[in-house]
């Protein structure tokens, strides 16, 4: 099938190589624009998205900015879809494949890429942040960032592979959870996936804390039995604490709940200028380790494998989806807490 015939089949995209896309301007206004279908460079593929998740990063981009964003920008970095064209030099991905995409486009040769920490690449260009994202009829990505997955997994679940990879990196950053007491502060997508991953990797006990009763119900449906409100945690400390809420109060509370020689992994995305207050003597006296966890750090292939095993638990996180052209409405729904994971749909 030719590229033009695929464009015809896609609907609004025309044989002349035009498409629609969501665009966020420097004034943070959302518009639907007509633009050129991406030209494929060496090693790139063109994907027609089937599902795209919305997360806190998109909220930052829309409301007040996110580091590295290049406005005007088409958002969308948690996505899966069908390959409709391949550029020169692409071998392992073919037209028609269903793929999930790691959005972190890296240089591959800076000191951090060579050290196996691509999430810290000095020339990092995330799709949906520094490159055009998936809130469009088509999106270009390096073929090396795409992993072929079973279409029977479902587009919504396949689009959850990116946050699952981030959760895997967070749990790996804790330097082991097997047989340990784990506390997760924050019952959003990241917190719930961290809790599920911790259980799968053999944590002795997993507790999830969130103030929203609706998230308690979702967590229990996802198989997390020990779910409490932040005020009901009590004085008991935990070997590993994940702060996945992205709010000051959660991070300050986390500092009080880490066991001696324990680990605090800070996963929540806070504002760039946010500050928190805690007593540094606590870190010294209790020998606490504080570790940051940023993005998925090369864990995407592992997340693809794991998702096949936890598909049903992960699917519980999916809530209402919105047409891609209702992007602003979808963000408002996410902020209102109508679902753990709000996604965009394309048909």
**Contact assessment for residue 20 and residue 136, using Cβ atoms and an 8 Å cutoff:** yes
Indicate if 261 belongs to the active site.
Answer: no
Q: How many residues does the chain have?
A: 347
Residue 57 is a catalytic residue: yes
Distance CA 242, CA 139 (A): 33
Contact 189, 161 (CB under 8 A): no
115's CB contacts (< 8 A; 6+ apart) are none
Buried b / exposed e across 203-238, counting CB within 10 Å, b at 16+? beebbbbbbeeebbebbeebbbeebeeeeebeeebb
Q: What is the CB-side half-sphere exposure of residue 114 using CA atoms within 13 A?
A: 3
| Catalytic residue (one of 4, 28, 39, 60) | 60
- Give the chain's radius of gyration (CA, Å): 20
Among 4, 35, 39, 57, the active-site one is 57
Of 146, 204, 197, the closest CA to residue 171 belongs to 197
Catalytically annotated residues = 57, 60
């Amino acid at each position: 099938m030719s590229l033009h015939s695929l464009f015809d089949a896609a609907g609004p995209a025309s044989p002349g190589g035009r498409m629609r896309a969501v665009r966020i301007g420097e004034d943070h206004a959302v518009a639907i624009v007509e633009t050129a279908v991406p030209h494929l460079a060496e090693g790139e593929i063109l994907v027609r998205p089937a599902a795209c998740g919305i997360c806190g990063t998109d909220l930052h981009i829309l409301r007040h900015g996110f580091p590295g964003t290049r406005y005007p920008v088409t958002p969308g970095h948690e996505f899966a879809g069908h390959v409709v064209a391949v550029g020169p030099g692409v071998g392992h991905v073919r037209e028609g494949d269903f793929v999930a995409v790691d959005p972190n486009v890296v240089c591959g040769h800076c000191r951090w890429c060579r050290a196996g920490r691509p999430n810290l690449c000095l020339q990092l260009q995330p799709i949906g942040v520094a490159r055009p994202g998936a809130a469009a009829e088509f999106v270009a990505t390096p073929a090396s960032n795409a992993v072929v997955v079973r279409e029977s997994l479902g587009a919504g679940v396949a689009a959850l592979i990116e946050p699952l990879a981030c959760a895997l990196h967070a749990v790996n950053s804790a330097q082991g959870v097997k047989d340990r007491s784990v506390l997760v502060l924050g019952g959003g997508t990241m917190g719930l996936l961290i809790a599920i991953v911790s259980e799968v990797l053999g944590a002795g006990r997993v507790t999830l804390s969130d103030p929203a009763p609706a998230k308690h119900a979702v967590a229990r449906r996802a198989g997390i039995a020990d779910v409490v409100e932040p005020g009901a945690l009590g004085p008991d400390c935990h070997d590993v604490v994940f702060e996945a809420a992205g709010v000051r109060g959660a991070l300050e509370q986390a500092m009080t709940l880490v066991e001696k020689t324990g680990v605090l992994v800070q996963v929540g995305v806070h504002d760039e200028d946010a500050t928190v207050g805690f007593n540094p003597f606590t870190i010294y006296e209790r020998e606490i380790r504080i570790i940051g966890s940023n993005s998925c750090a090369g864990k995407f292939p592992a997340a693809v494998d794991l998702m096949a095993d936890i598909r049903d638990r992960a699917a519980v996180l999916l809530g209402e989806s919105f047409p891609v052209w209702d992007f602003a409405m979808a963000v408002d729904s996410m902020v209102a807490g109508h679902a753990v994971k709000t996604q965009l749909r394309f048909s």
